[in-house]
Amino acid sequence: MLDDLVGKYVMRRDASYPEDYRAASPLSRVVADAPPFFVIHGSNDTLIPVSEARAFVERLRAVSDNPVAYAELGGAQHAFDVFPSIRSAHVVRGVERFLDWTFTRAVARGAARLPV
């Protein structure tokens, strides 16, 4: 059913359009000058397999000049954070800490510019 939904509304699963799949993949955008990333993925995600998140993080870490953080949430599904929960509150705090650390690091390196 999920394949039908994705195929019908997101992208047709048709082997005659492999370039479309490659262009839509985040893996095609892995570059050395990518911004800092914090990838958060549920281990039970049935929409995007967790193996794809792991592969993306591994490839990005191999080439990126910036930090690449990864948190895999045991038992979490896709869009686990839609409804407030203890888990989503912890994720918000984790993202806040990552952003604060990333900004502080950039300021220390003279890379961040504050709006005037």
Regarding pTM above 0.85, the answer is: no
Q: Over the stretch 50-62, which tens digit does the pLDDT of each residue have?
A: 999 999 999 999 9
CB neighbours (10 Å) of residue 53? 20
Residue type present at position 67: P
pLDDT surpasses 60 at 44: yes
Burial class (CB in 10 A: 0-12, 13-18, 19+), 26: middle
The DSSP code sequence of 44-71 is: T-SSS-HHHHHHHHHHHHHH-SS-EEEE
Residue that wins the pLDDT comparison between 12 and 96? 96
Residue type present at position 84: P
Q: Over the stretch 64-87, which tens digit does the pLDDT of each residue have?
A: 999 999 999 999 999 998 989 999
32-116 under CATH 3.30.1490.150, yes or no: no
Task: State the pLDDT at residue 5.
Answer: 53
Domain positions in the chain are 1-30, 32-116
